[in-house]
Amino acid sequence: MTLKGLKDFCLNLSGVTEEFPFDDVTLTFKVKGKMFVLVNIETFTYINLKCDPNDAIAFREMFEGVTPGYHMSKKHWNSVTTDGSIEDKIILRWILDSYELVVSKLPKAMRESLIT
């Protein structure tokens, strides 16, 4: 997983914007103003992904490179390594899951405005 690959994938999803709301190095991807991915663009050693609480625990048990979300709610966020120990296709699936989880919680009118 590369930073460019991550950015390209996220920005290709409907309604996604990128912002730096916390500092100059924490890139945040949002859909309709709600975060679904965070990454440090200087180190790019892991990405934070929103996750269903049950899946979050299961992924941590299945993959050594998945830990409770760094500086995030440990119940709803996972930190996922970008060192290549987890296949890109799995990480991309988790990014899409994160996006879809956030979209599912949006008001109906906002959800319907997205072409997914």
Rg of the chain's alpha carbons, rounded to an integer? 13
Quick one: what percent of the chain has pLDDT higher than 70?
A: 98
Is the pLDDT assigned to residue 23 strictly greater than 70? Answer: yes
Longest Cα separation, the chain: 39
**Structure token digits, residue 2:** 């590369």
Whether 116 shows a pLDDT value over 80: the answer reads: no
- Position 71 scores a pLDDT of 83
- Please write the tens of the pLDDT for every residue from 56-91: 999 999 999 999 988 888 889 999 999 999 999 999
Give the residue carrying structure tokens 């930073």: 3
Give me the pLDDT at residue 76, please. 92
Q: Between 73 and 2, where is the model more confident? A: 2
**Mean pLDDT of the 22-45 span:** 96
Instruction: Read off the pTM.
Output: 0.93
pLDDT class of 1 with cuts at 50, 70, 90: confident
Domain boundaries, the chain: 3-111
The CATH class of the 3-111 domain is: alpha beta
Task: Quote the CA–CA distance of 52 and 26 in Å, as a whole number.
Answer: 22
Contact criterion met (CB below 8 Å) for 55 and 11? no
